[in-house]
Structure 1
Amino acid sequence: MGKWIRRVVVLAVAGVFLYSMASIGMTLYRYYISDKSYDDTAEQFTALATGAEDAAGERGSAPGSVGTETAPIRVDFDGLRAVNGDIVGWIYCQDTPINYPVVRGEDNEFYLHHGFDGADSNSGAIFMEVQNRPGFADANTVIYGHHMKNGSMFAALAEYADQTFYEEHPVMWLLTPEQDYKIIVFSGYTASAGSDTYQIFEGASGEFDEYLETVQGRSDFTADMEPDGAAKYVLLSTCAYDFEDARYVIHGMLVPVGSAAGVPGEAGQRG
């Protein structure tokens, strides 16, 4: 009787082990499929801009003005929108995995579990807060993305907790069909999902000035810049694991450059 029980226990343990390995394998496979899909998308719909200068450490033009600098990549938004009309932009950070289309859905749930093309996906998509006005028209626009364990999607945002990482990546890029922007990063920190960090402001105001001062004071790194309340901003948000419902957020000022979709001279001319 004892031998039989031991055999049952061994078989049960082996079954649990095999099930666990199969689950891990399936998760890794899903990561692979998602990463490959986004890699293929970047290869198909983007290209390095010819002659684009490396602007990783430059501050760019004054807020509200359009500089002569252009985005370092070009994006085929016509092709992307033929796949999904929810496409509103493309976000790019040099030397990181952040190189993705940005979508805006009818709610904040769909793209948590669907890729930019609308297909089921554990990685979801990079998407805009539905309460924000289209066209990045608000003073601050919130953009969400998953923190994937393999480092994809918005996982790299958490790296900004380190001063050295910030100094190596002080600039991101946001490209749209109408206007491209440098994202001048100036604050990053851990917040709760229900934090006042997620307030949306339509335009410049004294309250917005106070908000910018507050969020800069929370930053894990020190940025040599003074936020301008007349400019527009993005808040990039991803999951963190410091406590329940923790998020890591990055604030960046949008500085218009002289391109749209990466094409020089097209800023403000395309619809």
Structure 2
Amino acid sequence: MNGMKKITMLVLALVCVISGSVWVNAYTKKMADEAAYEEIRETVQIHDLEVQPTTVAPTETKVVETVADNKQESYVAPAGLADLMASNQNVIGWLTIGNTKIDYPVCQNKSDNEYFLHRDINGQKNTAGSIYLDSIQDINAKGLHVVYGHHMKNGTMFKDVSRFTSTKYMAEHQDITLWTGKREIKLKPIACYAGPADGSYRTNFQTTDELHKFIKTKCGKDIISDNVFVFITCSYGGNDERTYLICEEEG
């Protein structure tokens, strides 16, 4: 009997060692993944530059003509972002939500919507994946846009999206900006809820009225914008549940 006890204790100790090793390796990998994104942030330095309309075009590839307040203006993408997009065709923009950990490049693969689910911006295998736009949507076109990201337990990626289900948290986190190669998009969060996985968000609407009716059915809110972004991440409140943060463009 004593021999069996010793064997059992040895097996349990071995299991603990292996489990601990697996946990440490997973944690180390997640920290390395986030460190890689921090290096990208330092290289891009998107927050160190004041982005404003200008009539002077520094390069032909970084400027697009837009109409705002009936005046012809030129948008200049942050230099670091423009350089990142030029060197990496997977990157189509940069998303920041003020006072959260959400500060990431946005990717897209138009032929495989799940490509960036477990890949970094360079297409390398990565458990945290990337923040990415749905494959059927155009980030610069008006309409509905769905952006996906993992709910990481270490607080990275789209973990903070789940916090917007709190009315107080939403009220305190209104600063959402998306930069693309063509536009700076200021967004206002209007609703956040947790619910079953919902494929109907993968839609391109023909009219603004159709878009408004769709959003009304989802969250009960009336919107006035013709441009809507929905940030989606996993929710752990139920089986196959998601958190949906619905935002409309300001102005």
Please give the range of the TM-score, normalised by the shorter of the 2 chains: 0.7 to 0.9
Kindly report which structure 2 residues correspond to 1:50-69, keeping only aligned pairs within 5 A, or say none. 50=49, 66=68
- The alpha carbon displacement at 1:100 in A equals 0.4
- Identity fraction in percent: 22
Kindly report which structure 2 residues correspond to 1:75-90, keeping only aligned pairs within 5 A, or say none. 76-90=80-94
Q: Is the 8 A contact 2:136 2:202 kept in 1?
A: no
Task: For residue 143 of structure 1, give the secondary structure of its aligned residue in structure 2.
Answer: strand
Q: Is the 8 A contact 1:139 1:200 kept in 2?
A: no
Structure 2 counterpart of 1:34: 33
* Residue-by-residue CA offset, 1:36-80 (whole Å, 9 max, x unaligned): 001110111124245679xxxxxxxxxx97379xx9x94523331
TM-score normalised over the length of structure 2: 0.84
* Residue-by-residue CA offset, 1:194-244 (whole Å, 9 max, x unaligned): 354x142334343322112223327xxxxxxx511x511111100001111
CA distance in 2 between partners of 1:244 and 1:11 (Å): 36
Q: Is the 8 A contact 2:196 2:241 kept in 1?
A: yes
Please list every run of at least 4 consecutive aligned residues from structure 1 whose deviation after the TM superposition is greater than 6 angstroms. none
> Please, which of 239, 245, 249 is the counterpart of residue 244 of structure 1?
239
Q: Does 1:140 pair with 2:125?
A: no
Q: Is the 8 A contact 1:183 1:252 kept in 2?
A: yes
Q: Which amino acid aligns with 2:119?
A: H
CA distance in 1 between partners of 2:175 and 2:206 (Å): 23
Kindly report which structure 2 residues correspond to 1:1-271, keeping only aligned pairs within 5 A, or say none. 2-50=1-49, 66=68, 74=78, 76-105=80-109, 106-132=111-137, 134-194=138-198, 196=200, 198-217=201-220, 226-228=222-224, 231-255=226-250
CA distance in 1 between partners of 2:79 and 2:127 (Å): 25
Ranges in structure 2 where 5+ consecutive residues have no aligned partner: 53-65
CA distance in 1 between partners of 2:206 and 2:168 (Å): 32
* Residue-by-residue CA offset, 1:159-210 (whole Å, 9 max, x unaligned): 01111111111231000111111011111101211354x1423343433221
CA distance in 2 between partners of 1:13 and 1:115 (Å): 36
Q: Is the 8 A contact 2:234 2:242 kept in 1?
A: yes
CA shift in 2, pair 1:205/1:95, >3 Å = closer
CA distance in 1 between partners of 2:100 and 2:188 (Å): 16
CA distance in 1 between partners of 2:67 and 2:167 (Å): 29
* Residue-by-residue CA offset, 1:101-127 (whole Å, 9 max, x unaligned): 001113122211111121211100001
Query: Looking at both structures, which has the greater relative contact order when contacts are Cα pairs under 8 Å and sequence separation is at least 6?
Result: 1
CA distance in 2 between partners of 1:108 and 1:83 (Å): 22
What is the root-mean-square deviation of aligned Cα atoms in Å? 2.6
Task: For residue 48 of structure 1, give the secondary structure of its aligned residue in structure 2.
Answer: helix
CA distance in 2 between partners of 1:251 and 1:75 (Å): 29
CA distance in 1 between partners of 2:50 and 2:142 (Å): 32
Count of residues paired in the alignment: 233
Task: For residue 136 of structure 1, give the secondary structure of its aligned residue in structure 2.
Answer: coil
Structure 2 counterpart of 1:260: none
CA distance in 2 between partners of 1:49 and 1:227 (Å): 32
Q: Is the 8 A contact 2:232 2:245 kept in 1?
A: yes
Q: Is the 8 A contact 2:46 2:81 kept in 1?
A: no
Task: For residue 83 of structure 2, give the secondary structure of its aligned residue in structure 1.
Answer: helix
CA distance in 1 between partners of 2:188 and 2:125 (Å): 33
